[in-house]
Amino acid sequence: EILHVLAKHDTKIVFSARDLTAAEKVVAKIKAVTPSAEITYYKLDLSSLPSVKAFADEVKASGVQPNGLILGAGTMATPFCKTVDGFETQFGTNHVAHYLLTRLLIDNFVANAPTRVVVLSSVAHNLLSFLLTRYTCYPNSSRFKGVNFSDPNFTTHPYEKWESYGQSKTANIPFAYELKLYAPKGVEAFSVHSVDPDAASAPHRHGVYKLRVGTIWTRQYGILCRKAPRRRCGRFQHPSLGKGGVYLEDVRVSSPTTAKAKDSKAAERLCSINVKKYL
């Protein structure tokens, strides 16, 4: 849906996909509605940092001059497993891969400024803390405090899927804050909350039915799920934002309520994650 909205506004689009056959079908659907759409795609598997590097290399080699990046792919509440590089899957996919991709393309964004990076975080950085402290099915919920820097990959403590998801989405916020360093060079970065209206139907998002995420988030936070794709694009295109490194909800500057999400030192610690060999 995000691609459909952008295509209607004469945006040249490059998107990623694990399944190139599925990607071709997406292109066909978009062009059926917007025949003039300029859209292409490259293969990308966020559970593999070599794949992230290959995608970035293809984008650079294509000669495209990027003006923006929406980091919206990810996984939610999955059973425990690890990425190709040994990261816990949700943390590795939702944060580490996006961090690396941005770092690999940052010089391109500087060269084509003004540019904008949108990191799709989630109100889950706060909502999950609320849920985990109130549901007895999570006996270790009291330890949920954001990013567990001592053990982000659950190697020494029991895995909880929602704790992992909340951690990965909390990491998105200081990540965007860290990108504020590029603001003087014309690069704005934002972490945003936007409910995915297809969340309950996505096969990689386990447990969504049990928590009725759309209902909870709509009633508790006033988010209208059916408008989410357009609002994501609004954050990407709105000309009046005028500041970077902030957290947004409903196309407005908000404030993350989880203390760890507002930790100014967290961004620096997240940058220490070992992805240097790909840079």
Indicate which residues carry an active-site annotation: 165
Place of tokens 């902030």: 246
Contact (CB, 8 A) for 91 and 160? no
C-alpha pair distances (Å), 42 with each of 45, 60, 262: 10, 12, 34
The values of phi and psi at residue 209, to 5°, are -60, -40
Which segments of the chain are extended strands (E)? 13-17, 39-43, 68-71, 115-120, 187-193, 246-249, 252-254
Angle between helices 213-221 and 124-132 (to 10 degrees): 110
Alpha-carbon distance of 192 to 168, in angstroms, equals: 14
Where does residue 215 fall: left (phi above 0), alpha (psi -120 to 50 degrees), or beta otherwise? alpha
